[in-house]
Amino acid sequence: MAVNLTRAQNTTVWNNKQCAVVLTYDDAIDVDLDNAIPALDSLHLKGTFYIIGSSPVVNNRLVEWRKAVKNGHELGNHTLFHPCDGSLPGRTWITPEDDLSKYTVTRAVNEIRVTNTLLKTIDGIDERTFAYPCGDRKIGDVFFYDQLQKDFIGARGVTPGLQTIDKVDLANIDCYAINGQDADYMIGLVKQAMQTHTLLVFLFHGVGGGHNLNVDLQAHSKLLHFLSQNEKDIWVAPMVMVAKHIREYQEANGKKAN
């Protein structure tokens, strides 16, 4: 009987829908504004765009980013310069200036907070979420986000996984990174989330080009249409809304939220 009660509860926790899906787009690139946002807006879906503060696309297209926020999209924090840990294998492309392993924790925290200030000048909003560049969470042995938990509602990592609302770690939210997978693969993940009443987060970079990590424009469109056609069963919302919902649920049910 307890199992049945748990199953019944899980079907209601995601805004009274079967699951939650969050669409995230990294790096503040032109195709966010040219391809992704128009596709989302055409179906009244809302996404989260993780912004690198130093990206020229931020400076050059401020009016469009502000319009995106007015249409309900989130501008998330993806740091000022996108530093990644150059000491890890396969990271020869990282320059010394952007090598997270050469940062101090204080420098990383300060740059992230400066990016929050920049984003607030664009959207006027205090609450937002964070995404780890390259999924790197540590400088040496220190989890730098520990000093930032009061600055954000949650932080997206890069580990693939579907989790029930009580299992989500708001300091390292799971996601599925998409690079060339087709629409059937992505829609299959959504169907799994619906069946298991879990959170599904997609991580996109280029949509129809514009990045070395890409999703085909038609595959992306098919995913969005599937989400729209099943809106009665799928809660699609920006990460900040979903993370806030998770935090409130976890706090109300005796789990210490991050």
Structural domains counted in the chain = 1
The verdict on residue 257 lying in a domain is no
The verdict on residue 133 lying in a domain is yes
pLDDT at residue 257 above 80? no
Chain segment 159-201, per-residue pLDDT in tens: 999 999 999 999 999 999 999 999 999 999 999 999 999 999 9
pLDDT of residue 12: 79
The verdict on residue 242 lying in a domain is yes
Output b/e per residue, 192-224; b: 16+ Cβ within 10 A. Answer: ebbeebbbbbbbbbbbbebbeebbbbebbbbbb
How far is it, in rounded angstroms, from Cα 25 to Cα 19?
Answer: 20
pLDDT of residue 125: 97
Report DSSP letters for 197-237, one per residue.
T-EEEEEESEESSSSSSEE-HHHHHHHHHHHHHTTTTEEE-
CATH number at residue 214: 3.20.20.370
The verdict on residue 258 lying in a domain is no
pLDDT of residue 255: 67
pLDDT at residue 231 above 60? yes
The verdict on residue 95 lying in a domain is yes
The verdict on residue 170 lying in a domain is yes
Instruction: Name the residue range of residue 145's domain.
Output: 2-252
How far is it, in rounded angstroms, from Cα 201 to Cα 162?
Answer: 8
Amino acid at 216: D
Q: Residue 43, exposed/middle/buried by CB under 10 A (0-12, 13-18, 19+)?
A: middle
The verdict on residue 215 lying in a domain is yes
Single out the residue of 246, 200, 210, 180 nearest to residue 13, CA to CA: 246
Asked whether the beta carbons of 19 and 193 are under 8 A apart, the reply is yes
Residue 167 neighbours by CB under 8 Å, 6+ apart: none
Chain segment 151-161, per-residue pLDDT in tens: 999 999 999 99
Average pLDDT over residues 83-87: 97
Q: Residue 225, exposed/middle/buried by CB under 10 A (0-12, 13-18, 19+)?
A: middle
pLDDT of residue 9: 52
pLDDT of residue 4: 42
What pTM, to 2 d.p., does this model score? Answer: 0.94
pLDDT of residue 254: 80
The verdict on residue 151 lying in a domain is yes
